[in-house]
Amino acid sequence: MDLETLKSLAVKAEAKIVLLVLDGLGGLPREPGGSTALEAARTQNLDALAAQGVTGLVEPVGPGITPGSGPGHLALFGYDPLTYRIGRGVLEALGIDLELTPRDVAARGNFCTLDGAGRITDRRAGRLSTERCVELSGLLDTIQVEGVEVIVRPVKEHRFVVLFRGEGLSDQLTESDPQRVGEAPLKVEAKIPEAERAAGLINGFIEKARTLLTEKHPANMILLRGLARHPNLPTFQELYQLRAAAIAVYPMYRGLGKLAGMEALETGASVREEFEVLREHWQKYDFFYVHVKGTDTAGEDGNFPAKVAVIEEVDRGLPTLLALRPDVLVVTGDHSTPTVLQAHSWHPVPVLLSARWCRPDGVQEFSERGCLQGGLGRLRGKEILPLALAHALHLVKFGA
């Protein structure tokens, strides 16, 4: 269902919806015949919710496709991740909690080293110290370019972010980074005529950076990649008349929530603290996205017991959340991160939806194997939000 149609069906409802995302939730058995982390974890509260509610398995993007965090979350927020693509520059900006507006083109920057002939000898400027990166980013931030506001912020080591803020900037641009040493940095070029102006402004910025950095060897030049506009998503407020909040510890996830029009709430780092923040703000919002990072971190580290422990921590914290009596609670992940792969994967992600109007499916356990029998069946990531809205009686009939 396209967003325009969905929007036309959305009505106000007195209902609270919670989307609890355990990042990288899905997994694989540690050894043949073994359990996944979710199966191994003692999760009496999640199992009780699965028993009362309805479950299924989610393909965030599609069969065989391993989602990055951006597409995985966008899908859970109801946006088709193949239609709404978030560029690298934007994700990098979100990752340092940089406020993005719909007028911005963002880029990932590297400090690099040029030789006397203008050829790149090191694409990372000897992996600059973060202190030096902060200092030189401050220098670049002073650059003035006629017709556009330029904002430069350090990330880490040789990496920084640039925002070009102005009206009507296209991001249909090539990168200045040739991704090879021994070559000169490239001019940013317009892929479509409408992007000529942006290309000109950005090349102007790059030349000023070159001049400013002349004496700053080894960081005597910059390379820009992943030039991307803010995706200008229609917000939860516009689409569904929902006041939405994001409760997430890491800037990237707070930023992804903000792209959907959510307000990012301040929170401590533990699951308990996140649930406390939820409780404190319960009256002010209709929709809460709560992000738990630890499951993914444990998956990426290949740490099976740690992944089990985070899932159990969430389960122990759940009574705080359930005491608020949400009308709809969805628990799922933005992708799988099996500890045996130590990486995001393409495997479908367990989902449970608990609400008064669920059709029960006989599943008694929130697990990969349990959800295989679930009443939601196999569904795409973007289909979860319409289901949550429906169970909150937020959607009217389609057609008469």
Residue ranges binding its own copies (CB under 8 A): 1-2, 5, 9, 28-29, 32-33, 36, 52, 57, 61-72, 81-82, 85-86, 88, 91, 338, 340-341, 343-348, 357, 359-362, 368-369, 372-373, 375-379, 383, 385-391, 395-400
Task: Quote the least distance from Cβ 273 to its own copies, whole Å.
Answer: 27
Nearer to its own copies among residue 268 and residue 360 (C-beta): 360
* Neighbouring-strand partners of residue 329: 18, 354
* DSSP category for residue 276: H
DSSP state string for 257-268: HHHTTPEEEP--
Cβ closest to its own copies, residue 33 vs residue 168: 33
> At closest approach, how far in Å is the CB of 85 from its own copies?
7
What is the C-alpha separation between 189 and 400, in angstroms, rounded? 51
Integer-rounded Cα Rg, in Å, for the chain is 23
Residue 180 Cβ, how far from its own copies at the closest point, in Å? 18
Residues 206, 188: Cα–Cα separation, whole Å: 9
Beta bridge partners of 289: 19, 246
Strands (E), 72-196: 104-114, 120-122, 149-156, 159-165
176 versus 345: smaller Cβ distance to its own copies: 345
Give the span between the Cα atoms of 249 and 246, in whole angstroms. Answer: 10
> CA-CA distance, 18 to 275, in Å (whole number)?
11
Tokens of 17: 């919806």
Nearer to its own copies, 134 or 341 (CB): 341
User: 2 vs 146, which CB is nearer to its own copies?
Assistant: 2
Asked if 382 and 73 touch (Cβ cutoff 8 Å), the reply is no
CB of 158 to its own copies, least distance (A): 18
In the complex, minimum distance from the CB of residue 9 to its own copies, in angstroms, rounded to a whole number? 7
Nearer to its own copies, 1 or 129 (CB): 1
Contact 382, 357 (CB under 8 A): no
Give the nearer residue to its own copies in terms of CB position, either 132 or 229.
Answer: 229
Evaluated on CA atoms 378, 379, 384, 386, the torsion sign reads negative
Measured in degrees and rounded to the nearest 5, phi and psi for residue 287 equal -135, 130
* Residue with smaller CB distance to its own copies, 61 or 221: 61
Least Å from the CB of residue 321 to its own copies: 21
Neighbours of 200 (CB within 10 A): 16
User: What minimum distance in Å lies between the beta carbon of 367 and its own copies?
Assistant: 11
- To its own copies, the closest distance from the beta carbon of 68 in angstroms equals 4
Place of tokens 């065989």: 64
